[in-house]
Every structure is written in C-alpha cells, then in structure tokens.
C-alpha cells in the first residue's frame, strides 16, 4: 500500500436504513486523559486526530458522555463543528465515572434524560443520529431505561437507538419498546462471546459495533503470519478480518494520535484471502505457504519480535 488508503475502501453500511457511512469508523474514547479521565495530554493532538480521521473518509464517530467524562464530546465539537453533511456521531449514556478507570451503571430514566440533553449541548446537535444505552443497570428494570430513551426519540432528540453490552435476551426486550438499529459489544480475535449477536445482526440488518476490536492481537499465530505476508501490522490484519467476517460489522478502532489513526484506517485496503480469514477465525495456521509460516516461527523462537 503506497498512498494512504481511506475509510471508503471498507465499503459502506446503512445505519437505521437512512444513514449511509463508510464501514470503518472511529472510537473517540482515547482522545481523553489516562484512565479515560480528564483532558488528553495534548489537546492539540487530540483535535488533530479527530480532524485527520475525517480527512481520511471516516464519517462515523462513536463516543459517550462518560468518556472524560464529557471531554470526548466537547473535543469532537471543537474539532469538527460545523460538521460535514455525511458525518454520523453516535454517543452513549448509562455509565457514570467516580474516577479514572472506574465505570458504574446508572440506567435511571432521569439520569438518561439529563446526560442525553448534555450530549446534545456539548456536541452542538439538535438531534443525536444514534444514541446507545451504554450498559444495562442491574438496579433498574431494562424497560424503564429503554423507555426513557424511547421518549427522547419521540421528542425528536434522538434519531436512532442502539444498545451496548447486552445479551440476546436484553436486545429482544429492548426491541419490544423501541426499534433498535445497532448493537455495540466487545468482540475481537480473542473474545468471540458475541458471535451469535453478529449472526442476529446479519439476519435483521442491524449494525454490529465491536468495541476493543484490536485488543490482544498478538496472541494469534495466523494473525502474525498474515501480517508478514501482506507487509502490514497485526492490528491492521485483525481490523481487516473484522471487515471480512460480516457485512454488518462496523469496526470503531480508537487512538489519540493522527499517525495511529492513519495506520488503522489503512486496514480498510488490506484484502485477506478466504484461507487467511478462516485461519484467523479458527485460530489455526493455513496450509500454505509453508515457507512463510516456518520462517515466522523460526524468527519468534529465536527471540524476534511478533
């Protein structure tokens, strides 16, 4: 890959049937401080990162009021407002932050209304294109939390509703109250617990947003072999794999630097073979080319980096 690829190389997907975006987005959690708390080390770098991803064709940005808290949403507006016509901003509500790296559920209707209206102000939006319930709260009936979000949608403050960190049963319960257009659960090469939900999203044309998409990439030999074969990073391979496994998957890798964002977006142009996709999915080596696999194994046994 010589020229910097753009997110358009990933193709497109429809969110809610009426919002078409490129199928490689950006997760804006890491434009905040350490522990996803407070301001970033460099505000200028965070703003440059947000502007760079949009320059490279990203038109789906995922955030939440709890990122910072409030920092990520504020930076998005500072960097990108007035927004491009095709930019879809998805945010979330339902978690509170007692401190760095601490996350607690709050699904009370009054809390969800307050944070949604706060998100509208910070993002300078009249309507949030996609609002997601961040996590079910065991202390609050799910129907009460989703019911509050449905009311906000009826008031025109939300265009589409999504859910996050849910089981299939919880998704079905939410769907009884309001149309759900997306599911955001943890999913990557090492964590496949939400595989059945990806299947469901395919059947019902929902968008599946995998969070932590490039976590723990170094554990798979097939990933490393494919990276060597294509001359790319292992992170780029797992993003390409996510794009390949289902047309309903919209990866949202995040970072706080423009350079890392460019690397992630370049994954849209990595074309894995069916054999490589299958090998990564199964966690076993493809049958060939043996010379590449053997060379990589010798390199690792000799103490070389992955």
Q: Which of 283, 206, 191, 276 is nearest to 247 (CA)?
A: 206
In sign, the C-alpha dihedral spanning 162, 166, 172, 174 is negative
Partners of 186 in the beta sheet?
Answer: 211
d(CA 72, CA 36): 9
| CA distances to 63, 272, 274, 287 from 224, in Å | 30, 13, 16, 15
Active-site option among 67, 81, 131, 187: 67
What is the chain's alpha carbon radius of gyration, rounded to the nearest angstrom?
19
Provide the 10 A C-beta neighbour count for residue 29. 19
Distance CA 294, CA 276 (A): 16
Task: Tell me the β-bridge partners of 95.
Answer: 105
81 noted as active-site residue: no
78 touches 48 (CB < 8 A):
no
Strand partners, 26: 61
CA distance 283 to 29: 29
CA distance 214 to 162: 22
Using DSSP's 3-state secondary structure scheme, residue 179 falls into coil
Which residues are tagged catalytic? Answer: 67
């Amino acid at each position: 890959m010589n020229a910097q690829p753009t997110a358009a190389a990933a193709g497109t997907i429809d969110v809610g049937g009426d919002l078409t975006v490129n199928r490689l987005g950006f997760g804006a959690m890491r434009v905040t401080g350490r522990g996803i708390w407070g301001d970033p080390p460099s505000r200028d770098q965070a703003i440059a990162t947000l502007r760079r991803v949009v320059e490279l064709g990203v038109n789906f940005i995922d955030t939440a009021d709890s990122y910072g808290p409030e920092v990520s949403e504020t930076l998005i507006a500072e960097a990108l407002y007035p927004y491009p016509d095709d930019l879809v901003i998805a945010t979330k509500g339902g978690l509170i932050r007692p401190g760095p790296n601490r996350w607690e559920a709050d699904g009370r209707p009054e809390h969800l209304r307050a944070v949604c209206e706060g998100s509208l102000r910070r993002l300078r939006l009249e309507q949030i294109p996609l609002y997601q319930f961040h996590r079910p709260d065991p202390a609050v009936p799910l129907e009460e939390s989703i019911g509050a979000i449905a009311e906000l949608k009826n008031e025109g403050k939300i265009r589409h509703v999504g859910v996050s960190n849910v089981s299939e049963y919880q998704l079905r319960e939410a769907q009884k109250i309001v149309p759900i257009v997306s599911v955001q659960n943890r999913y990557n090469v090492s964590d496949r617990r939400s595989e059945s939900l990806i299947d469901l999203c395919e059947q019902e044309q929902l968008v599946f947003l995998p969070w932590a998409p490039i976590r723990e990439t170094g554990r798979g030999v097939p990933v490393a072999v494919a990276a060597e074969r294509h001359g790319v990073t292992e992170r780029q391979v797992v993003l390409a794999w996510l794009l390949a496994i289902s047309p309903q998957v919209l990866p949202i890798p995040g970072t706080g630097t423009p350079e890392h964002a460019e690397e992630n977006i370049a994954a849209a142009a990595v074309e894995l073979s069916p054999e490589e996709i299958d090998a990564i999915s199964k966690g076993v080596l493809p049958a060939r080319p043996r010379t590449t696999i053997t060379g990589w194994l010798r390199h690792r046994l000799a103490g070389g980096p992955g």
